[in-house]
């Protein structure tokens, strides 16, 4: 961002600006609808009424990568799906984050074989890993909270 | 040149458009492009209403579908090959992940095949508990189907209602097995452990309030003119076509064919309960919807009768070569220790031979072909999954209709990609 | 469960119409299997579908099996069901050469063409007359047929604490 280069570190002004922008980013982070397998059902449960994700700002899930901020890779990524995943990640506009939900996305999970990519971090850089097979909706919400904390801690030099 | 579908040149960003001959060579005559004027559209794999990573290659004339070919495999997990390198009990865990909306149903199919191969039977209490949990799983699967397919037809309230009910069922599964969805609760010879004390009051409370909830959903959808316009006479298939294309389950029963494996070849204790098999007439989307909703009420009846007749007794067979002894015996009996040791290190071995066990899963006929070769690992496991075979009827159902109707049809045949791709 | 008379019924009908077709009949755990020679498969299936007493109108599944140390190495099982009569049979066809497999049954039951694609993709048995055999489950440029016994599982070595660094260095992490 040009602000830091032009004005330098102006102390309290840039800090307030960072807080404001990060607050805006965390409180309306729209996930991209990337449910692949069983974890998608728990993601839908999280979106439904019992564990409401709207109270965290994730009101709706956008299927279009251009309109979403965070990609929750929910489910096992097979070798055929891997290039599709990468292409969708590239199509997302900055700032973007990735939550790897579930064991299969984090490390290959139960399936250690020819057909499953052993961890989605071989394809896209991941910010938060959520363990579980499938993780409970509360675990996923915990992962989202961790991501929010990470985003709130970002400084101006981390912005795109 | 047919517009729309192209492939990426490896190593570059450019997309090379394919001619009709190249497409035909690539996808076979499954996608015989009818005319050069039509547009080829690739719907999916990431799409809000394809119920998973399904890719459909549509040939469109304006808005109406001339032909379509499904392109699957984006969720191929190699489950069948992976199960060959695990013992029979360890391989059970992988069967949950196929049809992830009804995991206990997959478990049941596999475990019954293993029991058939070994020649053991589960004790009566285990059988009735299996029936109860499988029927609750059927209700859970139909709830997700109803929620997502109503969401496709833009009825969002039904989605929220269905998932609210489903939370109650997942609490029951968690109470028994420790896991909400992937329970892996059944074992060769019975169940993992007996159900806790809270099981019966929880199930009875569910049976008390659930029938009215079904009426709530129907009140939103059954007489709704928008829903009727979108589902009546859409996606019609005749009974002969359905059977010829291997369709089973509620899709087949909606065309009028009365075939339910629970009635035709009763397994577990289904022959003792009194329930109806809902049938349809036209074989359209509306009839499939009605069949599944009425199946939920019939499942409630079955669970009611099963709970009333639940016998006392053990939940795991006595055959110590197959089922582990209870831990209390390990301190007293040397044989128990030896059996425990053999089962935990090697696992039991199955005789040579092959079996095929068919059950009625929520989506259709679920079959498990199992071949043993005398060792502790299965030699070949194959699952006949209903969604894979039902998907083959999709071109027949959708030809000539519009893309919006196609969305409703995909919802109505109730496919789960984990089951298709295995 | 099919009882003995059902298995005998199938055996008699098929043997009457095609005397040399049946290799042997197997009964295991209450299930009946007819092991049929590859050349007479389509005729037997047409008989099963068209005969009024057998009336088998539903092809449930086509399962391919690889029994590597044995010969013939492959076997293709057809699970066939009759909805009007409520009985079923398994037809098993031993296949010696996977490139010269049985004839396609798409003319008998249309679902067969869809089921045979899976068998070709994962096991490599070519069905004569089926022009839709293509890579369905695997990416298009995949070599080999995974369900065969001589195809490796392809698992990744598990990272324990003693080999963590070694495996971590080889793992292809995404950079950006």
Predicted confidence at residue B50, as pLDDT, reads 65
Greater confidence (B10 vs B76) lies with B76
Domain tally, chain C: 1
> How large is the average pLDDT for residues B16-35?
56
CB contact under 8 A, A45 and B144: no
For residue C74, being part of any structural domain is answered with yes
Q: State which residue of chain A sits closest to C151, comparing Cα positions.
A: A114
Greater confidence (B8 vs C149) lies with C149
- The CATH number covering residue C94 comes to 3.30.460.80
> How large is the average pLDDT for residues B45-55?
79
Predicted confidence at residue B382, as pLDDT, reads 93
CB contact under 8 A, A41 and B101: yes
| Residues of chain B positioned with their CB less than 8 A from the CB of C83 | 243, 257, 259
For residue C32, being part of any structural domain is answered with yes
B4 pLDDT band (50/70/90 cuts)?
Answer: very low
Query: Of how many residues is chain A composed?
Result: 160
> How large is the average pLDDT for residues B87-97?
89
pLDDT over 70 at B17, yes or no: no
Q: How far apart are CA C76 and CA C41, in angstroms?
A: 11
Q: State which residue of chain C sits closest to A117, comparing Cα positions.
A: C156
pLDDT over 90 at B139, yes or no: yes
* Per-residue pLDDT tens digits for A84-127: 888 889 988 888 899 999 998 988 888 888 888 888 888 899 99
B410 in A contact zone (CB under 8 Å): no
* Per-residue pLDDT tens digits for B160-182: 889 888 999 999 999 999 888 88
Size of interface A-C (CB pairs under 8 A): 38
Distance from CA of C146 to the nearest CA of A (A): 8
Looking at chain B, which subunits does it touch, using at least 3 CB pairs closer than 8 Å as the criterion? Answer: A, C
Residues of chain A with pLDDT under 70: 1-12, 14, 156-160
pLDDT over 80 at B215, yes or no: yes
Least CB-CB distance to C90: which of B246, B356, B389? B356
B12 pLDDT band (50/70/90 cuts)?
Answer: very low
For residue C14, being part of any structural domain is answered with yes
Give the pairing type, strands A128-130 and A97-101. Answer: parallel
Q: What domains are there in chain B, each with its CATH number?
A: 79-421 (1.10.645.10)
Predicted confidence at residue B111, as pLDDT, reads 93
B129 pLDDT band (50/70/90 cuts)?
Answer: very high
Predicted confidence at residue B304, as pLDDT, reads 93
Q: Would you say B197 and B279 are in contact if contact means Cβ atoms under 8 Å apart? A: no
For residue C176, being part of any structural domain is answered with no
Predicted confidence at residue B5, as pLDDT, reads 43
**How crowded is residue B282: how many other Cβ atoms within 10 Å of its Cβ?**
17
Residue numbers of the domain that contains C83: 4-170
Least confident of A5-14, B155-164, B343-352, C141-150: A5-14
Q: How far apart are CA B200 and CA B181, in angstroms?
A: 19
pTM of this prediction? Answer: 0.89
> How large is the average pLDDT for residues B37-58?
81
C3 in B contact zone (CB under 8 Å): no
Q: What is the 3-state secondary structure (H, E, C) of chain B?
A: CCECCEEECCCCCCEEECCHHHHHHHHHHHHCCCCCCCEEEEECCCCCCCCCCCEEEEEEECCEEEEEEEECCCCCCCHHHHHCCCCHHHHHHHHCCCCCCCHHHHHHHHHHHHHHHHCCCCCHHHHHHHHHHHHHHHHHHHHHHHHHHHHHCCCHHHHHHHHHHHHHHHHHHHHHHCCCCCCCCEECCEECCCCCCCHHHHHHHHHHHHHHHHHHHHHHHCCCHHHHHHHCCCCCCCHHHHHHCCCCCHHHHCCCCCCCHHHHCCCCCHHHCCCCCCCCCCCCHHHHHHHHHHHHHHHHHHHHHHHHCCCCCCCECCCCCCCCCCHHHHHCCHHHHHHHHHHHHCCCCCCCEEEEEEEEECCEEEEEEEEECCCCCCCEEEEECHHHHHHCCHHHHHCCCEHHHHHHHHHHHCCCHHHHHC
Predicted confidence at residue B21, as pLDDT, reads 59
B7 in A contact zone (CB under 8 Å): no
| Residues of chain B positioned with their CB less than 8 A from the CB of A37 | 52, 75, 97, 100, 417-418
| Residues of chain A positioned with their CB less than 8 A from the CB of B148 | 44
Task: Tell whether the torsion through CA atoms of B99, B104, B105 and B111 is positive or negative.
Answer: positive
For residue C58, being part of any structural domain is answered with yes
| Residues of chain B positioned with their CB less than 8 A from the CB of A52 | none
CB contact under 8 A, B181 and A42: yes
pLDDT over 80 at C134, yes or no: yes
For residue C156, being part of any structural domain is answered with yes
For residue C175, being part of any structural domain is answered with no
Predicted confidence at residue B128, as pLDDT, reads 93
> How large is the average pLDDT for residues B51-67?
85
Q: State which residue of chain B sits closest to C3, comparing Cα positions.
A: B265
pLDDT over 70 at B7, yes or no: no
pLDDT over 50 at C173, yes or no: yes
Predicted confidence at residue B3, as pLDDT, reads 38
């Amino acid at each position: 961002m040009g602000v830091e280069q032009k004005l330098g570190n102006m102390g309290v002004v840039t800090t307030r600006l960072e807080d404001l922008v990060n607050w805006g980013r965390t409180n309306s982070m729209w996930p991209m609808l990337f449910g692949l397998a069983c974890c998608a059902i728990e993601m839908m449960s999280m979106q439904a009424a019992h564990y409401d994700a709207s109270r965290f700002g994730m009101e709706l899930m956008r299927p279009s990568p251009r309109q979403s901020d965070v990609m929750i890779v929910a489910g096992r990524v097979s070798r055929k799906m891997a290039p599709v995943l990468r292409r969708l990640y590239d199509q997302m506009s900055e700032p973007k984050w990735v939550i790897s939900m579930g064991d299969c996305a984090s490390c290959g999970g139960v399936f250690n074989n020819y057909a499953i990519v052993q961890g989605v971090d071989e394809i896209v850089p991941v910010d938060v890993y959520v363990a579980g097979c499938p993780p409970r909706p509360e675990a996923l919400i915990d992962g989202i909270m961790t991501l929010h904390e990470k985003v709130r801690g970002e400084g101006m030099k981390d912005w795109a | 040149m047919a517009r729309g579908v192209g492939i990426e040149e490896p190593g570059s960003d450019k997309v090379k458009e394919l001619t009709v001959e190249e497409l035909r060579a690539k996808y076979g005559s499954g996608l015989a492009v009818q005319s050069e004027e039509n547009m080829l559209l690739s719907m999916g794999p990431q799409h809000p209403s394809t119920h998973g990573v399904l890719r459909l290659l549509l040939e469109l004339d304006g808005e109406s579908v001339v032909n379509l070919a499904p392109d699957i495999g984006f969720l191929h997990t190699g489950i069948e090959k992976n199960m060959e390198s695990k013992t029979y009990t360890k391989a059970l865990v992988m069967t949950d992940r196929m049809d992830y909306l009804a995991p206990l149903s997959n478990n049941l199919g596999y475990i019954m095949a293993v029991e058939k191969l070994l020649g053991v039977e589960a004790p009566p209490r285990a059988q009735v508990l299996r029936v109860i949990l499988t029927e609750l799983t059927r209700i859970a699967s139909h709830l997700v189907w109803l929620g997502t397919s109503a969401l496709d037809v833009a009825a969002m309230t039904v989605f929220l209602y269905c998932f609210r009910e489903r939370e109650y069922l997942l609490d029951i599964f968690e109470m028994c097995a420790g896991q909400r969805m992937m329970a892996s609760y059944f074992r060769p010879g019975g169940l993992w452990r007996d159900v806790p004390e809270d099981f019966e009051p929880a199930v009875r409370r569910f049976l008390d309030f659930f029938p009215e909830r079904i009426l709530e959903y129907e009140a939103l959808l059954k007489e709704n003119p928008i829903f009727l316009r979108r589902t009546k006479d859409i996606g019609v298939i005749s009974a002969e076509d359905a059977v010829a294309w291997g369709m089973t389950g509620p899709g087949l029963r909606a065309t009028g064919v009365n075939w339910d494996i629970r009635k035709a070849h009763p397994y577990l204790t289904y022959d003792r309960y009194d329930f109806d098999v809902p049938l349809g007439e036209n074989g359209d989307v509306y009839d499939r919807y009605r069949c599944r909703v009425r199946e939920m009420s019939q499942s409630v009846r079955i669970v009611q009768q099963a709970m009333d007749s639940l016998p006392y007794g053990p939940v795991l067979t006595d055959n110590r070569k197959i089922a582990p002894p209870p831990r209390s015996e390990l301190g007293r009996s040397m044989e128990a220790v030896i059996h425990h040791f053999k089962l935990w290190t090697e696992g039991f071995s199955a005789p040579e031979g092959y079996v095929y066990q068919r059950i009625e899963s929520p989506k259709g006929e679920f079959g498990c072909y199992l071949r043993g070769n005398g060792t502790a690992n299965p030699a070949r496991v194959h699952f006949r999954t209903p969604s894979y075979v039902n998907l083959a009827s999709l071109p027949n159902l959708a030809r000539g209709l519009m893309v919006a109707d196609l969305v409703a049809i995909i919802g109505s045949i109730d496919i789960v990609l984990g089951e298709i791709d295995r | 469960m099919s009882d003995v008379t059902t298995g005998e019924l199938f055996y008699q009908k098929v043997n009457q119409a095609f005397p040399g077709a049946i290799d042997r009949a197997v009964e295991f755990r209450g299930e009946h299997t007819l092991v049929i020679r590859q050349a007479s498969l389509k005729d037997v299936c047409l008989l099963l579908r068209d005969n009024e007493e057998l009336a088998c109108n539903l092809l449930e599944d086509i399962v391919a099996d690889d029994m590597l140390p044995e010969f013939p190495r492959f076997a293709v099982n057809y699970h066939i069901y009759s909805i009007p009569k409520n009985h079923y049979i398994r037809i098993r066809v031993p296949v010696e050469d996977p490139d010269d497999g049985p004839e396609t049954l798409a003319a008998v039951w249309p679902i067969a063409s869809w089921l045979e694609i899976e068998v070709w993709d994962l096991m490599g048995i070519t069905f004569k007359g089926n022009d839709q055999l293509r890579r369905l489950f695997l990416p298009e440029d995949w070599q080999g047929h995974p369900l065969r016994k001589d195809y490796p599982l392809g698992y990744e070595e598990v990272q324990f604490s003693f080999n963590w660094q070694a495996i971590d260095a080889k793992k292809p992490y995404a950079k950006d």
